Amino acid sequence: MPKRACYAQDYTGLKILHTLYDSCLKAEIDFLDDHYLLNLIVDEGCIKGAIFLDSHTGEIIQINAKAVVLATGGYGGIYHGYTTNSYGSTGDGIAVVLRAGGAVSDLEFVQFHPTALKRSSILMSESARGEGGYLVNSEGERFIDELKPRDEVARAIFRQEQEGKEVFLDVRHLGEEKLMHLLPQEVALCKLHEHIDPAKALIPIKPVAHYSMGGIEVNSSLEVQGIQGCFAVGECANAKVHGANRLGGNSLLEITSLGRFAGDHAHQYTRSASNKEANSTQRDKDQKAIEAIYAQACTLNFYEKQQALGKLMYEKVGIQRENTQLLQAMEEVRAMQEMKEQMGIADKSPIHNQNLIEYLEFSSALLLAPMIISSALARNESRGAHYKIGFEKQDDKHFAKHHIIQWKREI
């Protein structure tokens, strides 16, 4: 069978990333490690730079820029505990764009990967099925064509789970040698996290949040709608290349092609951008906001709420949606937003305050969650990753359109 995508073992993304990193070092590009993006500086609809929290000192830093490219990742981390994403994938860049008056779109389209390890939500790569792995239930039956799109496979697994059956990935017939050649990392992860050798035993799996198709609304130059000179690329952006249901490997295609494209457009923009520099209004505002977080009493542990939010989103805004459940989820998220006044940070250190960063990440999650829910509520049809009970068919007449959210800019 011809291969559809270029790959390097089960490590394609890692190899691209490190080759890029080496090239950046060669080009003597500066990295500001441990700088957390707080907000964009926008003046009369044009980008002027961004504000960062420098973890090394706790200072609020302003960096002026004629153009900005956002590459801040997706929001799958909102499904805390039920995602393959890293802890920090809470859609911070998307929240920042919203606050700056830019637009975001199609947030209801969250892709669930069919095969994550059951206990740890760690990803078992698509290649396991691509190479001929089977999905079987606890009765040993195959129940779906494993090569169907991710949404169909994830839903089929979800239904098995609803019937009380466990689901496993079976790659035993591929043999140890082939497994070690094609999936060495996955084999190691199975042994470590599930105590099983995939060459000899079934791999217990579940579908979890994996990729956000929705994100920052950009035009064909990848410029953010509503913020001139600000560009967005990668999972944080909604460049509309994945439709409602991304194919495995295509996010890597997106970043390798559109990354350069975004850089070129940002560079072009700087040639005509105004030289007027930003004042310190945004910086002062962010300084006060961070001081307020330090001063806030901490009577409610936000880490508990972070887990509760992840579970709520997975159960009620997950693989299969239903309007009454979405409305319940909305109420619960609103209640959490109100409780936020009681949540603060217990760690008051100015330097390397991971507690503060995680609080800010949770704030992004709590800001975006209601928008994912309202977008899902508004889409009374099923399309790609968005599947709704009672509206199981695709309805192009009413819903062949994007859901765009944009706030009125504060003056």
Binding interface with other proteins (CB under 8 A): 8-9, 11, 14-15, 18, 21-23, 25-26, 31, 33-34, 56, 84, 86-88, 120-123, 185, 188-189, 192-193, 301, 303-304, 345-347, 349, 351-355
Name which of 26 and 397 has its Cβ closer to other proteins: 26
Write the CB contacts of 62 (distance below 8 Å, at least 6 apart in sequence).
Answer: 41, 49, 50, 51, 278, 280, 282, 283
Q: How far apart are CA 48 and CA 235, in angstroms?
A: 23
Residue 375 C-beta: closest distance to other proteins, Å: 27
Catalytic residue among 129, 150, 155, 283: 129
384 with 247: CB under 8 angstroms? no
- β-pair type (46-54, 59-64): antiparallel
Instruction: Report how far apart, in Å, the C-alpha atoms of 169 and of each of 31, 148, 188 are.
Output: 40, 15, 15
Closer residue to other proteins in complex, CB, 16/377:
16
Helices 323-339 & 354-378 angle (0-180, nearest 10): 150
- Residue number with CB closer to other proteins (156 or 203): 203
Q: In three state form, how does the secondary structure of 9-53 look?
A: CCCHHHHHHHHHHHHHHHCCCCCCCCEEEEEEEEECCEEEEEEEE
Supply the minimum distance, in Å, between the C-beta of residue 234 and other proteins: 16
CB of 86 to other proteins, least distance (A): 4
Q: Which token pair is 395?
A: 């309805």
Q: How far is CA 391 from the centre of its chain?
A: 26
Catalytic residue among 35, 56, 99, 113: 113
For the CB of residue 81, give the shortest distance to other proteins in the complex, in Å: 11
Q: Note if 113 is an active site residue.
A: yes
Q: Select 7 or 391, whichever has its Cβ closest to other proteins.
A: 7
Element (H, E) at 331: helix 323-339
Distance, in Å, from the CA atom of 230 to the CA atom of 130, rounded to the nearest integer, reads 38
Q: Kindly state the smallest distance separating residue 205's Cβ from other proteins, in Å.
A: 14
Q: What is the 3-state secondary structure (H, E, C) of 75-102?
A: CHHHCCCCECCCCCCCCHHHHHHHHCCC
What span, in angstroms and rounded, lies between the C-alpha atoms of 55 and 36?
7
DSSP-assigned letters across all residues of 210-269: EEES-EEEB-TT-BBTTSBTEEE-STTEE-SSSTTSPPTTHHHHHHHHHHHHHHHHHHHH
Other CB atoms within a 10 A radius of the CB of residue 28 amount to 6
Closer residue to other proteins in complex, CB, 45/88: 88
Quote the least distance from Cβ 303 to other proteins, whole Å: 4
Shortest separation between residue 117's beta carbon and other proteins, angstroms:
9
Q: Which is nearer to other proteins, 130 or 384 (CB)?
A: 130
Q: Can you tell me the distance from the alpha carbon of 400 to that of 320, in angstroms, rounded to the nearest whole number?
A: 20
Nearer to other proteins, 357 or 373 (CB): 357
Which amino acids are annotated catalytic? Answer: 113, 129
